[in-house]
Amino acid sequence: MALLEINHLSKTFVSDKEGKIEAIRDINLKVDEKEFVCIVGKSGCGKTTLLRIIAGLEPPTHGEVRLNGNTIKSPVPEIGMVFQDPNLFAWRTVLGNVTFPLEIQGFNKEERVKTAMKYIQMVGLVGFEQAYPYELSGGMKQRVALARTLASDPRIILMDEPFGALDAQTRNEMQLELLEIWKKETKTILFVTHSIDEALFLGDRVVVLSPSPGKIQKEISVKLPRPRDRTSKEFNDLRREILTYLTST
């Protein structure tokens, strides 16, 4: 059985001003344990809505999300989420942000600091434990957000364009680091992006979403060995293929 099962998921928003807006239609997707799946699509194709429903932040209009067979109705500790905005707690230090989920889970102070330090080290922020978010760069903030989610020890991490606001150089570094963490921590990752390059560099599988309403256009499994060479012929063949799917609608 797949770890995460998405069955016939649809979402229509109803607003007074704009009437009905169909965000996603009949999405079916299975994600296995330890898989890295990327969802790629143009902005406004319902990627974020899909992730928010999976996270339990938004109810679907039709269909359901199942984790290990249990329907998701509200946020659960097994599903973590990293947003495009790091959403750090500005009044807490880096260490305070990362210990936050452990505090909620009721660990004692010693355990909290120990676990948090492990993840702070993993994302390369040793030496910045006592820094406040305003003192950090965009990339560092997103690293803290990732460490905070990792500290809550979810089985699946949903990532909504987490590197979208970063410069290209930092973005590539973060992608490499994320792959390393994914291997080390044996997490399942569902990663949403509008960058074909990013999806191909990261994912075991790339799911192409077509816009308005968001539907699954194509699923491509990426068999290239990691770390992937963005300039190789195979990589670019896949890139071209995905681009055709994205522009065909």
Of 10-18, 96-104, 162-170, 188-196, which segment contacts other proteins by CB under 8 A?
Answer: 96-104
Q: Binding of other proteins at residue 199 (CB under 8 A)? A: no
User: Shortest gap between Cβ of 237 and other proteins (angstroms)?
Assistant: 37
CB of 238 to other proteins, least distance (A): 32
Site for other proteins in 120-139 (CB under 8 A): 132-135
Degrees, nearest 5: CA angle 54-45-174? 70
Q: Does 149 bind other proteins (CB under 8 A)?
A: yes
Q: Say how many Å lie between the first and final Cα of the chain, rounded.
A: 33
Is there a contact between 39 and 193 (Cβ–Cβ < 8 Å)? yes
User: Per CB under 8 A, does 185 bind other proteins?
Assistant: no
Closest CB to other proteins among residues 24, 79: 79
CB nearer to other proteins: pick between 149 and 193: 149
From residue 220 to residue 239, the character string flagging contacts with other proteins as x (rule: CB under 8 A) and all else as - is: --------------------
Residues between 28 and 87 with contacts to other proteins, criterion CB under 8 A? 55-57, 74-75, 77, 79-81, 83, 85, 87
Interaction of residue 89 with other proteins, rule CB under 8 A: yes
Site for other proteins contains 152 (CB under 8 A):
yes
Q: Please calculate the CA angle 58-62-66 and round it to the nearest 5 degrees.
A: 70
| Using rule CB under 8 A, residue 162 touches other proteins | no
- Smallest distance from the beta carbon of 131 to other proteins, in angstroms? 10
Nearest approach in angstroms of CB 117 to other proteins is 18
Put residue 28 in one of left, alpha, beta given phi > 0 → left and psi -120 to 50 → alpha: beta
Cβ pair 26, 9 in contact under 8 A: yes
Looking at the Cβ atoms of 78 and 173, the one nearer to other proteins is 78
- The binding site for other proteins (CB under 8 A) comprises 55-57, 74-75, 77, 79-81, 83, 85, 87, 89-92, 100-101, 103-105, 132-135, 148-149, 152
